[in-house]
A = this chain, B = another copy of it.
Amino acid sequence: MNRLKYNAGTGNQKNWLIQETVFDERYLGKCEAIFAQGNGYLGVRNALEETYTGEVRDTFITGTFNKASSEEVTELPNIPDMTGINIKINGQELNLLKGKLERYCRTMNLKNGEVVREIIWETPSKIRLQAQFRRIVSLENEHLMATAVEFFLDQDADLVIETGIDGSVTNSGAQHFCNIERRVYDINEMQYVSQTTESQIWIAQHAVCRLNVKADVLPEMGRRTLKNKYHFRAKKDQKISFEKVSVYHSSRDMGYMGKQNEQIIEKMKQDGRDVLKTAFSKGYEGIKRESEKQWEKYWKASDIIIEGNADFDQLAIRFALYHLNIMVKHEDNRVGIGAKALTGEGYKGHSFWDTEMFILPYFIFTKPETARTLLEYRYKNLYGARKKAQKNGYEGAMYPWECAWVSDGEVTPEYAGTDVITGECTKCWTGLIEHHITADIAYAVEQYYLVTNDQDYMEQYGCEIILETARFWASRLQYVEEQDRYEILDVIGPDEYKEHVDNNAYTNYMAKHNMELALHMIQELEAKHVDLYGKLDQKINLLKLKKTLEERIEKLYIPKPDTDGIISQADGFKNLKELDLTKYKLAEQVGTIFDDFNIQQISQYKVIKQADIIMLFFVLGVLFDKEIQRKNFEYYEEKTLHDSSLSKCIHAIIANDLGMEEIAYEFYESCLNVDLGLYMKSSDAGIHSASIGGIWESTVMGFGGVRMKGEKLYLTPKLPQKWTKLTFPLCIKGNFLKISVDKTSVTVINHGNEEVSFLLQEEMVKVPAGMKMERKIRENEYEISRHYF
């Protein structure tokens, strides 16, 4: 049974709506996550108004990290809930598991961010309820959420509506708040102030409701709850309309930066009440209209159009663009993007390499200011990165595998799930030995610079990041005397099913690239930017670094293709044991291999979690010819379980590069389905931000063929068979382009102020400011290998 419907909507709603058409309490997590609403500041899972077992009713405010207890790592706390609404009809709570559910349809409208749920439900005592629930998190005012409920009954009944602010929510049982202060103003207006236990961040929440009929209102406080109870008599066929406006503030809000704590608390209360008052006067419709306008602006600038027999693809790219817009607070350089964004408790709101390698390209190529904000965050992370390097006996900046608040440093948990063999918790090695993230961040800085030409960023932040990361690598290399070379021993590469490997190819290549970047930069600075050189030299001994880099880059061991053309993922990969992966490849769920083996055992087999060598081709493809790439793709893909959501998008891109069109599209579809697909459990802990970034990457950088090679922009489009046309925006050096690609031509409109040049299928093309350019494109050179596999 398909619980989701994608092709809902006609006319101008076509390919904007995702519908959940079946209520099934076993799969609540799916639409809680994929229908999550927010604005980068606030993230609210779309838990239903009424309560069900197994729901995960999460609200997050970006940056409000807290440690629930001293031995745990910091995480984004689940803020007291304001989404819950309890409706009782003649004493029977609305509960779709009871009585008779005649109609259920929940629709996420990607165009305006509204979720609408329509139900027709009969209570066990045969009262028929026809109801519509609407909810919006404002894109206009980040502090604001609004809900509207409208319903009719087919007979008179006693109604109770209870809603308020529920601080009894936890992060899977971990409670983050204390010092709760509650108050009701004028019976109706609710105020709930609480503080995180360790980071001592204050959260102020305000809510107020409106009901279109006269009711007795009673405020009630529980231990960690504050609610209003509306009691009234509803007439047969009378339209009952109930609205709730909810307002969130945190003492970490940008507006309170630099203020004293005591000041902030009073200000938060005042601000909360003010926002509430203004919003309440606008009502749900007014709040929605304002937010809608912001969404209109966004879509006007950002929409990607896929034409052809590709409705799902069109919807999916919009789904990705929707989440890409709400996963980041675009102007706040103190916060990163969580692996599950603000849509679930998974990965605790922490930022990984996911941001730089999978999400950032979207921002670099379309929203450079946001990309800069995110890379400023990484500059601020230098504090923790230097601390981590020092703690581990290295120099420079060793980026934390997981980052939270800017000053937190490394926040990777020490332990994960059960080791089925020993029965103990599995030790998490990523925080200790997954080192490639440091090179990934330097690579991202380079990419940002190449695309945007943002000198100011480089001067203020970027150069220092590249130098400090290179300094880390120089100190991280281990000299191996018998071969007179440097190696990188005992790491985890992108493929996390191999712990404690030596010379992971991805890591070594990226480390080398990082060091080369730094060396090149020092040379450039020496030659052309004496002031900046001097400034940086005060922090980092550049002469010494230059010498070290010169010597070590030269002698760093870089795994090369062997006689079969295979680049060993890490030392000894070819000697690992074989394992029949069919069972795990066919499993609906990822990670089922851990039901049979522990990580020590898995490390001994030729089994790969995710793109590793393939990832290397994505980032440093210029170094490898197509034939080598093809051979390695073939060799490694069959050993890859794609148990990470970071895997398929990259495989789609490389397959497309290699002309394996059908395979590329298969991986692409598979990537679109990571969150949006019919497997209903995949998004329980939140959407997969990186995979969502990967949707954009495989669409625009894959099929659209957009890629930087050095300082040059390349456009090598190659659309899937089902597509007739792809249109997407792109921003190069501050010039906004609209690019359309079909099977035979490329059209570029330059909305910018400068001429833009790029290589179209290796041929240099220039588009002057304000001009439109159309070019024919050649048949794909890899066409011949379309049916390669």
Chain A residues packing against B (C-beta within 8 Å):
25-26, 51-54, 68-72, 91-93, 95, 97-98, 167-175, 178-179, 182-187, 197, 218-224, 226, 417-418, 420, 423-425, 595
Besides A68-B178, A174-B224, A183-B424, 4 other A-B contacts (C-beta < 8 A): A71-B178, A173-B223, A173-B224, A221-B425
**Closest 9 A/B residue pairs (Cβ):** A168-B173, A184-B423, A69-B178, A97-B97, A175-B175, A172-B223, A221-B418, A173-B224, A221-B417
Are B70 and A417 closer than 8 Å at their CB atoms? Answer: no
A175, A183, A424 interface centre (most CB from chain B within 10 Å): A175
Are A420 and B69 closer than 8 Å at their CB atoms? Answer: no
C-alpha spacing A222/B54, complex, angstroms: 14
C-alpha spacing A186/B422, complex, angstroms: 8
Are A223 and B97 closer than 8 Å at their CB atoms? Answer: no
| Given A70-B178, A169-B173; A220-B418 close (CB under 8 Å) | yes
| Given A69-B179, A218-B420; A173-B170 close (CB under 8 Å) | yes
C-alpha spacing A197/B176, complex, angstroms: 13
Are B168 and A168 closer than 8 Å at their CB atoms? Answer: no
Considering only CB atoms, which chain B residue lies closest to A54 in the complex?
A: B51
Return A11 CB to nearest CB of chain B, in Å.
37
Are B95 and A25 closer than 8 Å at their CB atoms? Answer: yes
C-alpha spacing A186/B421, complex, angstroms: 9
Return A271 CB to nearest CB of chain B, in Å.
19
Return A639 CB to nearest CB of chain B, in Å.
25
Residues of the B chain whose Cβ atoms lie less than 8 Å from the Cβ of A184: 418, 423-424
| Given A97-B95, A187-B423, A218-B595; A174-B417 close (CB under 8 Å) | no
Residues of the B chain whose Cβ atoms lie less than 8 Å from the Cβ of A178: 68-72
C-alpha spacing A222/B345, complex, angstroms: 12
Return A258 CB to nearest CB of chain B, in Å.
27
Are A172 and B224 closer than 8 Å at their CB atoms? Answer: yes
Return A487 CB to nearest CB of chain B, in Å.
35
Among B172, B175, B220, point to the contact of A68 (Cβ < 8 A). Answer: B175
Return A48 CB to nearest CB of chain B, in Å.
11
Residues of the B chain whose Cβ atoms lie less than 8 Å from the Cβ of A170: 168, 170, 173, 175
Return A77 CB to nearest CB of chain B, in Å.
12
Residues of the B chain whose Cβ atoms lie less than 8 Å from the Cβ of A423: 183-187, 219
Return A340 CB to nearest CB of chain B, in Å.
14
| 25 A-B pairs with C-beta separation under 8 A | A25-B95, A52-B53, A53-B95, A68-B175, A69-B197, A71-B178, A97-B97, A97-B98, A168-B170, A173-B175, A174-B223, A174-B224, A182-B418, A182-B424, A183-B424, A185-B423, A186-B423, A187-B420, A187-B423, A218-B420, A219-B423, A221-B417, A221-B418, A221-B425, A222-B417
Among B171, B220, B222, B418, point to the contact of A172 (Cβ < 8 A). Answer: B222
Residues of the B chain whose Cβ atoms lie less than 8 Å from the Cβ of A182: 418, 424-425
Residues of the B chain whose Cβ atoms lie less than 8 Å from the Cβ of A97: 95, 97-98
Return A345 CB to nearest CB of chain B, in Å.
8
C-alpha spacing A260/B445, complex, angstroms: 54
Residues of the B chain whose Cβ atoms lie less than 8 Å from the Cβ of A171: 223
Residues of the B chain whose Cβ atoms lie less than 8 Å from the Cβ of A92: 26
